[in-house]
Amino acid sequence: MTTRPTVRAANGLVASGHHLATSAGLAALREGGSAADAAAAAAAVCAVVMPHRTSVGGDMFALTYNAESREIAVYNGSGAAPHRLDPDAFATGFPAQGAAVATVPGLLAGIADLVADQGRLGLDRALAPAIGYAESGFPVSDVLADAIVQEGGRLTLDDEASQLFGPRGRWARAGEMLQQPDLAVTLRAVARDGADAFYRGDLGERFATAIASTGGVIDRADLSAHRTDRPEPLAIEYRGLRVFGQPPVSQGHILLEELAIVGEVDIRALEWGSADLIHLMVETKKLAFADRDAHAGDPARVEFDARRLLDAGFVASRRLALGAKASDRSEAGSLMTPAHTTYLAVVDRDGNAVSLIESVFSAFGAATVVPGTGILLNNRLTGFSLDPGSPNAVAPGKRPVHTLNTVIALEGSMPRFVFGTPGRHAQVQTNFQLAVGLIDFGMDVQQAIEEPRWYHEAGRTLKMERRYPEAVRRAVAAKGHEVAVLGDWAEVTGGAQAIAIEPNGSFAGGADPRREGQAAGY
């Protein structure tokens, strides 16, 4: 039994992190729009109604499946550190907020490129619902109201943010209307003139001037230089499916390495939810994360080819490192070379699919709204390492490694699963659990999403939702893990959405009760 039914539809389906975004995407599909149109519309609405998780001032990553060409395309809408950045300014650590910790926003360019490449309705139509919610307002959700209170200490320190989220002299409450008139003007300019209005136009000029007044160093040159990256997708063969993940600077390679390591293990011989399976997956996760920490960085600036992590010989060597007892830490494998978010999935009646994730990194990002634009800045700069020897070391013009990643799995040349989750470092762990549940154990999408989850951060401590039976938790502890019990539905493990394309061509969608997502179709 699940807490909510699986959503089934034959003409199109949207599963996103907010019901208003799902409704916007579904409306685009009903008007004859493609999956790209619906995804762009939903993503833009999320950037308006979920400022604690995403923003026009944030980033996006997407994988798309084109039913006509039967090809997967990659959109890496992440921005670089400003070219005038002084790394020495962070010698004592990153500040908790402010424009100084923002990278160039990439979401607007990513959405515009997605619509230009694969849309039917145009960017103005894709942005229309978001403009409406920014201009006329939307009812604050319980989750957003709680987030505003929790982050009130940071928001208070920025005049624009304080006024935006506390328009009545106190923080906005659940059910009250929240308007963002400056953001509506910004979105109208982009709808009218395209993303160039921000990256190379008058809007960008105003943004750069205003951000300088708040202590940031992103300037016109940084905006003008930004482009959506289009790398080749990463993929592995797993149980007869071809699983595609997001390439760097995303850490999607972690999920694929995890699946590759367990690919030669008879997982179905292990009971789902058993201590043996949990231990295997946790120790596999540790190996893949160690490899990330040792090798991952911006491929444009360091020598990092994620495909080498998926090489059969390398994966076999990592599999040998798995132990029967929990490890304190896992050492990286040698490649022998001469870091708040929301996710959405869409499929349309023609079989096109989009797997998209967007973020401002921490809750409310930098907790700084650029005056006159309504744009809430990300704090993605804090995703860099302050260790100068790290491949992810902070540097001007460089992109930090992102936790954001999305998944599409093909059966033959057709999509079978589209899924993903927010949750920072939990993303590739929860996606790992989803993949094994969906592919190895044949679960329904809603069931796979609602199954109890584990989450590992460091050392031997393993966080497990309380819904795991006590006997299982004891058996996991007997393998050397120090079990910490989470709540029944722990938000730290993410807020997944998933769509399965059934053999008869119909769609099945699920959304995570751990957050406020919703799936809908027609």
Residues acting as catalytic residues: 341
The closest of 230, 274, 223 to 57, measured between CA atoms, is 223
How far is Cα 257 from Cα 308, in angstroms, rounded to an integer?
10
Phi-psi region of 321 (alpha: psi -120 to 50; beta: other; left: phi over 0): alpha
Is-cis flag, bond preceding 190, omega within 30?
Answer: no
- 122 CB contacts (<8 Å, ≥6 apart)? 115
Task: Please give the DSSP secondary-structure letter assigned to residue 55.
Answer: -
Distances from the Cα of 509 to the Cα of 55, 171, 347, angstroms: 25, 35, 10
The answer to whether residues 410 and 241 touch, using CB atoms and an 8 Å cutoff, is yes
Residue with tokens 């959109």, as numbered in its chain: 75
Contact 15, 512 (CB under 8 A): no
Closest to 422 (Cα-Cα) out of 518, 334, 340: 340
How far is it, in rounded angstroms, from Cα 241 to Cα 415?
9
Evaluate whether 341 touches 423 at the Cβ level (below 8 Å): yes
**In 15-122, where does DSSP find H-type helix?**
19-30, 35-49, 107-118
Q: Which tokens is 7 given?
A: 């959503």
User: Residue 23, Cβ neighbours under 10 Å: how many?
Assistant: 18
What gap in Å lies between CA 380 and CA 461, rounded to an integer?
27
H-helix segments, 196-269: 196-199, 202-213, 220-225, 252-262
Residue type, 170: R
Continuous segment of H or E residues that includes residue 244: strand 241-245
Of 245, 204, 203, nearest to 225 by C-alpha is 204
Residue 326 near residue 43 (C-beta atoms within 8 A): no
- Ordered strands of the 507-511 beta sheet: 7-9, 507-511, 497-501, 414-420, 407-411, 241-245, 234-238
Cα(66)–Cα(412) distance, rounded to whole angstroms? 14
508's tokens: 């099945």
Report the candidate in 309, 314, 113 with the shortest Cα–Cα distance to residue 228.
113
